[in-house]
Amino acid sequence: MTALDPNLAQRLKDVVGPKGWSEEPNDIAPHLVELRGRWLGQTPLLLKPSATLEVARILALCNETRTPIVPQGGNTGLVGGQIPTRGEVLLSLERMNRIRSVNPEENLLVAEAGVVLKHAQAAADAVQRLFPLSLGAEGSCTIGGNVSTNAGGVNVLRYGMMRDLVLGLEVVLADGRVLDLLRGLKKDNTGYDLKQLFIGAEGTLGIVTAAMLRLFPKPAGYATAVAAISNVSVAVELLNRLQHATGSQVTAFELMQRESLDLVTKHIVDTMNPLPDWRGWTVLIEVSNPAAFDATDALQEALAQAMDQGLVADAVFAKSERDRAAFWRLRETLPEAHRLDGATIANDISVPLSRIAEFLAAADAAIRAALPSARSFAFGHVGDGNLHYAIKAPGNDAALLAARAALELIVAEQTAKLNGSISAEHGLGLAKNESIARYKSAAELDLMRALKRTLDPNNILNPGKLLPPD
Amino acid sequence: MTALDPNLAQRLKDVVGPKGWSEEPNDIAPHLVELRGRWLGQTPLLLKPSATLEVARILALCNETRTPIVPQGGNTGLVGGQIPTRGEVLLSLERMNRIRSVNPEENLLVAEAGVVLKHAQAAADAVQRLFPLSLGAEGSCTIGGNVSTNAGGVNVLRYGMMRDLVLGLEVVLADGRVLDLLRGLKKDNTGYDLKQLFIGAEGTLGIVTAAMLRLFPKPAGYATAVAAISNVSVAVELLNRLQHATGSQVTAFELMQRESLDLVTKHIVDTMNPLPDWRGWTVLIEVSNPAAFDATDALQEALAQAMDQGLVADAVFAKSERDRAAFWRLRETLPEAHRLDGATIANDISVPLSRIAEFLAAADAAIRAALPSARSFAFGHVGDGNLHYAIKAPGNDAALLAARAALELIVAEQTAKLNGSISAEHGLGLAKNESIARYKSAAELDLMRALKRTLDPNNILNPGKLLPPD
C-alpha cells in the first residue's frame, strides 16, 4: 500500500470533520472485502463525507495531488468495482443518505448517493408511488451504486434499467467541480445529455452524489404464478403471449431450473417447490395490476391456453400475499443456495431473446467437454435476455476453481458468438475489464479510453476498473 | 463559400459513384433552406452515399483534409442544425433508406438513417407491432435525424423520446471509423454506453448511419376526447387522475388554446372546433387500448368525475376513426395555422409540470410589457411539461420581428427562472446554440466542449452547431 502523505491525509480529514473519516482497521475492514470474497482491498484512509461540497473538496485535493480514490456505496457489487485493491483512498458515500425531496405530483424523488435502495422504495411508497428498481441486495445497496452500475433486477421488463429511471444527476467531476444536472424535466434537448456519461460508469468518470428518480403509480395488486414450461425455447413465445393478454402488465418473468430449486429447498429454511413433480424448467411470472384493471383473469386464461397448446405443462397461482412471498423467496435465495452448496462460478450474461435456448445448449456442451463433472444452472431475468449462469462441479470444487479462467472464457466465447453481452447487469469492475477487450472493437475501446482521459486526465477515479489495461 | 479543392471533390465523388453526388444548383437548392426560411445555406457539393462504408470513406477524406461537412436527413429540423450555412460539404443520408431487418418476436427493427419515419412505422405495423415515435413531420423526417435530435412528438408520455426507443446504433466517427453498436440486447453493462453520446448530438460527434429500434404491441384501439379544462393549472392533476383511472394508458395529452383553435378553423380547410362555446383551454386526450383491456369506459368515468368536481367543464369523445382524425387534425395543423396568420416567433420550452401555469402567467406579462401588441399561444405536449409557445402580434408583424431577440430572451429568462429548458425537443442547432451559454454552468459547457474535442478534434462535423461559440 502506498503511504498517504501525512499532510494530505490531514487536509482530507479536515474536509470531512471528525465523524467523516477513519483509519481504524476494524472500521475499515468491512469495506475491503466483497460478498464473494474474491477481492481483498486495502486503504490508508476511509473518508465518509456528509455533503456534496465535501466530496468536491476531496476530489479537488486528490486531483491536485494525483491521489487515486475509490467510491463505494453499499459494497454489494459483484465485480469488485468498489474495492480499493491498489491501496487507494476509499470514499464511502454512506453518510450522504438524505432523501432531499419527494414530489408525487410530478412523480419525482431526489435521493443522495448513500440512500439505501429500500429506503428510496419506502419513501415513494409513503406517497402512494412506486420506485420500481428491485434487486436482491436492495436492503443494503445504495442509489449511487445503482446509478454507477446501471442496476437491473427483477422489474426491468416493465420499468427498464436504472438508466431509464434517472431523470437527473448531481455529479462531482475529477477536478472537484460539481455538475448539477438535477433538472426535473422529462424533455430537455439543450445539448449533449451529460448525465448519461456517469450512469453505468462505475465511478470512473465522476462521483455521483445525488439522483433525481422517476416514480410510477403504485400497482393495486399482483398476480403471481409459477409455471412449468415444456422447453426453455418456448419462454419467449410464452412471454409475448402473456404481454399481449395482459396489456403488457407483466413485470417479472424469471427462469428457474429444477436442479436450482432443489438446492434452494435443501439449503434455505422455509422453502417449498410448488411444482414438486416437474423435472424441467419453470418460470416465475408476475403481473402488476394497475388500479384500473385486474389482469389476473387474463393471465390465468392465457396460461390455460398455453397449457392446452403444450407450451406450459402446469402452473400454480399465488392465492395470498404469503404464497407470493414464498414464490419470490425461491427466486431470491437461489444465488445463496448455490453458494451454500459449494463453489460456484457465476456469470451474468445476456443474449438476444430468441437465442437463449441455443446459448444454453452450446454453453452446456462446451463446459462439460472442458470439465466433465461441471454442471450449469441458468436462472434469472429471461424476459430481458439476461441469464445468470452458474457453473458448479458437485463434489469437485477444487477442479472447478482451478478451471475458472477456462470456464469463464467458454461462457464469454459462447455469448459473443450469439452477439451477447458478458455482463448484462453487474458491470465490469475488476472481474471482466480485461476480458471485455476481446469482445469490443478497437474503435469502441479507443472511444472508451478517450472518454476516460477527457473526464479524468489524472486517472484518479477508480483507476484500473471497467477499462481494460492499456 | 470556400471553394472545394477539385482533387478532393473528385475523390469524394469517386467514393459515392455517379448517382451519389450533385453540383447542380437545382438539385441542391431544396437542401439549403429549411421550413421557416430562417437560414439559407450554400454548399459546393452534395453527397448522397448509399452505404455505411461510403460514409466512412467520406469522413476519412474530410477529416484528413480538415473539410467541414453537414449531415442532413429529411431537412425538417426547426433550429437550422441541418443547413450548411458556412459552405460546408452537404451529406444527405436520403439514399440510405433500407429497413435492414424487422424482428417481431424480439420487438426490434433496424433502419438505416435515411428511412423516413412513416416508413419505419409502416414496417412495424406490417408485423403487428407499433413503432411509437410520431410527430408532425413524420412523412418526411428520417430516422437518422430523429436519433440525432432525440425527437419527441405526441407519444412521449407513454413511450418516451427517441433516446428511449433506440436499442443500438451504427455510427461513423469523425475519422471514418465505423462504430457498430447494433446489438439487440436490452441489458448490456459492459462499459460506457457509447450510443448515448450520439443521440441528440445533432451530428456534431459522429454520423448516425443506422439504428436498432424498439417495437411495442400494437394498440387494439383508441379512446380520444377533447376536454375543456377550467384552468391550465388543473392540467397536471387531471393527467394524474386519468393515468390512475386508465392504468397509465394515456398516450397523448395535448394542450390547445381557444385562440389557436380559432386560427385553425379560420385557415385550415375541413376543420371544426368540437367545443365551439368554450372560450378557455382545452386538452386533446388519447388513451391507447391494449388488446386485453378497453380503457374507454374508465376514461369516460374519470372525465365525468372531473366534471362533477369542476376540473373539466365539458368533453367530447371521438365516436369514429373519422372523429379521431378530425380531433388530431386540429392539433397537427396548429403550427401551420399560426404561420398562415402572419409572423410567429416560435419557442419550444419545458418547465417542471407543476409550474406550467406559473410560467404562462409570468411569460405573458413580460411579453406584453415588452411589446403591447404581442399575444402568446401555448400548445403542445403538456403531459411532459413541454410547451410550444408561439408569440404573435396580429397586424403588427414588423414590430414583432424587430423584437425577436428581445422576446426570445424573455421566454428564455422566464423558462430558466423555473428551472426549465429552452429547447425541450427541437434541439439547439444555430437557433439556440449561443443563448444556451447563459443557462448552463461553466462545468457543463466545458464538458460539452471537451466531448466535442475528443470525438471531433478537427471540428469537421457540423461545425458551429449545438455548441456555443468559444
* pLDDT tens column, B311-360: 999 999 999 999 999 999 999 999 999 999 999 999 999 998 889 999 99
Phi, psi torsion values for A300, nearest 5 degrees: -60, -45
Cα(B444)–Cα(A179) distance, integer angstroms: 7
DSSP B222: E
**CA-based nearest distance B42→chain A, Å:** 25
Chain B, 36-75: which have a CB under 8 Å from a chain A CB?
none
Cell 386485453 belongs to residue:
B292
Of the candidates A201, A385, A454, which has its C-beta nearest B451's C-beta? Answer: A454
pLDDT at B184: 84
Grid coordinates representing A371 are 470439465
Pairing of strands A46-47, A89-92: parallel
Chain A, 85-114: which have a CB under 8 Å from a chain B CB?
103, 105-106
Nearest CA in chain A to B172: A443
Closest-CA residue to A89 (of A203, A211, A169): A203
Closest-CA residue to B234 (of B224, B246, B242, B225): B242
Cα torsion at A428, A431, A434, A436 (round to 10°)? -40
Record: contact B179-A441, CB cut-off 8 A:
yes
Please indicate if any CB of chain B lies within 8 Å of the CB of A249. yes
Please indicate if any CB of chain B lies within 8 Å of the CB of A243. yes
User: Distance between alpha carbon A162 and the CA centroid of its chain, in Å?
Assistant: 9
Cα torsion B233, A104, B352, B159: sign: negative
Interface probe with B: pick from A187, A237, A438, A456, most Cβ of B within 10 Å: A187
| Chain A partners within 8 Å of B293 (Cβ) | 247, 293, 295, 298
Record: contact A199-B193, CB cut-off 8 A:
yes
**CA-based nearest distance A35→chain B, Å:** 20
Please indicate if any CB of chain A lies within 8 Å of the CB of B163. yes
Of the candidates A291, A385, A436, which has its C-beta nearest B190's C-beta? Answer: A436
Q: For B320-363, where are the E strands, in sequence order?
A: 345-350
Burial (CB < 10 A; 0-12, 13-18, 19+), residue B268, is: middle
Record: contact A187-B421, CB cut-off 8 A:
yes
Residues of chain B with pLDDT under 50: none
Please indicate if any CB of chain B lies within 8 Å of the CB of A441. yes
**CA-based nearest distance B389→chain A, Å:** 15
Record: contact B385-A185, CB cut-off 8 A:
yes
Q: H or E segment at B351?
A: none
Whether the CB-CB separation of A190 and B440 falls below 8 Å is answered with yes
Grid coordinates representing A328 are 419470490
Burial (CB < 10 A; 0-12, 13-18, 19+), residue B127, is: middle
Whether the CB-CB separation of A206 and A173 falls below 8 Å is answered with yes
Of the candidates B186, B385, B419, which has its C-beta nearest A186's C-beta? Answer: B385
Residues of chain A with pLDDT under 70: 1-2
Cα(B352)–Cα(B386) distance, integer angstroms: 9
Indicate the pTM of the whole model.
Answer: 0.96
Reported residue count of chain A is 470
Please indicate if any CB of chain B lies within 8 Å of the CB of A292. yes
Whether the CB-CB separation of B108 and B185 falls below 8 Å is answered with no
Record: contact B191-A292, CB cut-off 8 A:
no
Record: contact B423-A189, CB cut-off 8 A:
yes
Of the candidates B189, B236, B350, which has its C-beta nearest A424's C-beta? Answer: B189
Record: contact B105-A436, CB cut-off 8 A:
no
**CA-based nearest distance A201→chain B, Å:** 6
Quickly count: other Cβ atoms within 10 Å of residue B239's Cβ.
Answer: 19
pLDDT at A2: 60
Mark out the alpha helices in B286-320 (DSSP H runs). Answer: 296-308
CA angle at B323 for the pair B228 and B131, rounded to the nearest 5°: 95
Please indicate if any CB of chain B lies within 8 Å of the CB of A248. yes
Nearest CA in chain B to A427: B189
Nearest CA in chain A to B387: A187
